[in-house]
């Protein structure tokens, strides 16, 4: 288990790399994130199985911010090869921080994702964001870390 600690006022906060057996800890945060972006149909068993497999294979990691009993933030990252260039790409698949902890604490999770990407040898780091939650502050933050908009993904529900 890898931990990074920092002070949040008088409170010592940690960012912990979660093990696959502890995925149940983040389910309330994942549900809150999906509710906020209005994404219905969360399937907890599918989520657990998919992330467990990716984590066991060493392709993915999930980071939890705060106390394990009541985490205040979470992000999931995965690695894959670019099908055109073969370069290793790190993707920030999801990130969610409770409202009272957004801002500089969310930045800490984002920074941890970037460190993880570099440690894993990624040549590119990519992070998506739901358009209905995109803020000017978030756009400015990712720009400070050298990110730029490269593509827009369009989606529609089928069936």
Q: What is the pLDDT of residues 27-53, one digit of tens each?
A: 999 999 888 888 888 999 999 999 999
Q: State the residue range of the domain holding 82.
A: 3-144
Instruction: Indicate the pLDDT class of residue 55, thresholds 50, 70 and 90.
Output: very high
Identify the band that residue 1 occupies on the pLDDT scale cut at 50, 70 and 90: very low
Domain count within the chain: 1
User: In this predicted structure, what is the pLDDT of residue 100?
Assistant: 83
Contact status, residue 68 vs residue 74, Cβ threshold 8 Å:
no
Q: What is the pLDDT of residue 24?
A: 92
Token reading at 100: 């009272």
Q: What is the pLDDT of residue 54?
A: 93
- pLDDT score at 38: 82
Within a domain: residue 12? yes
Phi, psi (degrees; rounded to nearest 5) at 140: -65, -40
Instruction: Give the pLDDT score at 132.
Output: 60
**Residue 158 domain flag:** no
What's 116's domain CATH number?
A: 3.40.630.30
Cβ 138 vs Cβ 127: under 8 Å: no
In a domain, 155, yes or no: no
Higher pLDDT, 74 or 150: 74
- Answer whether residue 159 is part of any domain: no
pLDDT at 81: 95
Nearest alpha-carbon partner for 28 in 40, 18, 38, 42: 42
pLDDT by residue (tens digit) across 82-112?
Answer: 999 999 999 999 988 888 888 777 888 899 9
pLDDT at 154: 76
Res 62: pLDDT: 95
What is the tens place of the pLDDT at every residue in 125-147? 998 776 666 677 777 878 888 88
């Amino acid at each position: 288990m890898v931990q990074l600690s920092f002070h949040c006022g008088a409170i010592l906060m940690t960012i912990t790399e979660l093990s696959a057996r502890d995925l149940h800890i983040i389910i309330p945060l994942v549900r809150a994130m999906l509710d906020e972006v209005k994404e219905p149909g969360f399937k907890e068993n599918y989520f657990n199985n998919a992330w467990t497999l990716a984590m066991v294979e060493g392709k993915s990691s999930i980071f939890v911010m705060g106390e394990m009993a009541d985490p205040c933030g979470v992000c999931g990252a995965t690695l894959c090869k670019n099908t055109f260039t073969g370069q290793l790409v790190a993707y920030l698949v999801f990130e969610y921080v409770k409202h009272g902890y957004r801002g500089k604490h969310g930045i800490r999770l984002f920074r941890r994702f970037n460190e993880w990407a570099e440690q894993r040898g990624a040549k590119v780091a990519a992070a998506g964001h739901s358009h209905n939650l995109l803020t000017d502050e978030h756009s400015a933050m990712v720009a400070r870390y050298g990110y730029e908009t490269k593509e827009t993904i369009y989606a529609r529900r089928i069936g």
